[in-house]
A and B are shown apart, each in its own frame.
Chain A
Amino acid sequence: MCSAHAQKDLATSHAASISVGMGEIASASSPTVLFSLGLGSCIGLVIYSPKEKIAAMAHIMLPEGSSKTDEAIKKPGKYADFAVEALINELKKLGVDTGSLKAKMAGGAKMFANSHSPIMAIGEKNAAKVIEMLEKHQIPLVSKDIGGNKGRSVRFYTDTCMLEIKAIGMRPKLI
């Protein structure tokens, strides 16, 4: 398993990669890699076309932007309730057939396991909102790795449509 990963890293190291920063959205086609490092309560959401091998990723910070619509329209990737539609529109702009879109997501951890602060539930709320919005837009969620207490780095390989997840002290996995 390890050597397979090593080969994979080697194979994709030649591909261009795009970092998706907090609250941002980015899109790419095969073989470009989309990545987000050190997600805690944030969510890395990918909506992609498996047929055309084109994907868009959002680095979502908060569940709802509906109370500050002006900002949410300017930065839709920041909010779960705006990001899903923004990703679909991004793919539409690239001429993708939106009927065949699929989604994968990771993140939404509770970083401080013992904390009773209500704000620490933000990861869980982020994940729940993303799932709700995907259902609303009828986009199948193929796989997810959410919750827990560990931060994650995610990379989406547009050539294979696999999402790689790395966390400290754990083997990388592909979902």
Chain B
Amino acid sequence: MNKLQEDLLREIANIGTGHAASALSQLIGQVVHVSVPNAEVVPFEEIPTHFGDPETPVCAVLATCMTNLDIHLVLILSEEDSFQLSDLLMGQISPPSDPDAYEAVVESALTEAGNIMLGAFLSALGDFLGVGLHPEAPSIAFDMLGSILDIMISIFGEVGDTAFVLNTSLSFPDLEHQRIFTGKILMVPAPGTFEKIFSIMGVA
């Protein structure tokens, strides 16, 4: 990947996370500030250690786009951040008292929040590239960081030897107890997808 191509991916990261944050802001009815994402191209062997202890419990939402461009997007939040986010989301409804039902509602709320954010990311990317990008039904997992990453890295393993990782943090300035969330979005292209993006943008 050359400098121009990396710059293009960084620009995509900026646009995508900006839209993801404003989608979240509309969803929870709060102002959301998003940091300029730190976009990195990481050799895949380094990904497991790059992200920290592989046994850390995390919440991950997967959105897959299979039309026009083949892309998997994964939003990864620490378990703690995902609980905070679900509290924000649940603040708007009266949650069920039955613990199993409560868990199901939390799971569905987080899936939807992730889906809305990643959907906004994808559609912004689509607008930028001039192609329609729409996610399939989202999927969520609460599990060890390493086990979430390894399926993604396996896709990279088929494609090439580097991954494109965006680190971004979200903050809620109007909330009494200001909390900063640190989310990671992994953009995992199917074989040939980055090349397709580069050729659309004339930087192939």
A binding-site residues for B, Cβ under 8 Å? 21-23, 37-42, 61-62, 78, 109, 111-117, 119-120, 122-123, 149-153, 168
- Give A40 to B151 CA distance when docked, in angstroms: 6
Q: Which of A40, A115, A122 contacts B149 (CB 8 A)?
A: A40
Expressed in whole angstroms, the minimum distance between the Cβ of A109 and any Cβ of chain B is: 7
Among candidates B66, B148, B154, residue contacting A151 with C-beta atoms closer than 8 Å: B148
The 9 closest A-B pairs by CB, nearest first: A38-B146, A151-B147, A38-B54, A40-B147, A112-B139, A115-B139, A40-B150, A114-B139, A38-B144
Give the A-B pair count, Cβ closer than 8 A. 104
- Over the window 61-92 of chain B, the binary record of Cβ atoms lying under 8 Å from chain A Cβ atoms (1 yes, 0 no) is 01010100000100000000000000000000
Check A61/B147 contact, CB under 8 A, given A112-B139, A112-B140, A117-B72. no
- 22 sampled A-B residue pairs with Cβ under 8 A: A22-B48, A22-B150, A23-B45, A37-B55, A37-B144, A37-B146, A38-B48, A61-B154, A112-B62, A112-B139, A115-B136, A116-B136, A117-B66, A120-B151, A122-B151, A123-B151, A149-B141, A151-B144, A151-B147, A151-B148, A168-B142, A168-B143
Specify the main secondary structure of chain B where it touches its partner. mixed
What is the minimal beta-carbon distance from B76 to any residue of chain A, in angstroms?
12
Contact A111 B148 (CB under 8 A): yes
Residues of B within 8 A of A115 (CB): 62, 64, 136, 139
Residues of B in contact with A (beta carbons under 8 Å apart): 44-45, 48, 54-55, 57, 60, 62, 64, 66, 72, 136-151, 153-155, 157-158, 190
A66 CB to closest chain B CB (Å) equals 13
Q: How far is the CB of A35 from chain B (nearest CB, A)?
A: 11
* Cβ-defined partner of A38 (8 Å) among B62, B140, B141, B149: B149
* Cα separation A153 to B150 with both chains bound (whole Å): 12
A114 to B64, CA, bound (A): 12
Is there an interface contact between A21 and B48, defined as CB atoms closer than 8 Å? yes
Pair A111/B136 contact, Cβ less than 8 Å: no
Q: Which residue of B lies closest to A112 (CB)?
A: B139
| Cα-based distance from A151 to B45 in the complex (angstroms) | 19
B150 touches A62 (CB 8 A): no
* Docked pose: A117 CA to B138 CA in angstroms: 10
Given known contacts A37-B55, A41-B151, is B146 in contact with A62 (CB within 8 Å)?
Answer: no
A61 close to B157 (CB less than 8 A): yes
User: Which residues on the A side are within 8 Å of B143 (C-beta)?
Assistant: 40, 111, 150-151, 168
- Whether the pair A61, B150 counts as a contact (CB closer than 8 A) is yes
Which of B57, B138, B142, B154 is A41 in contact with, Cβ under 8 Å? B154
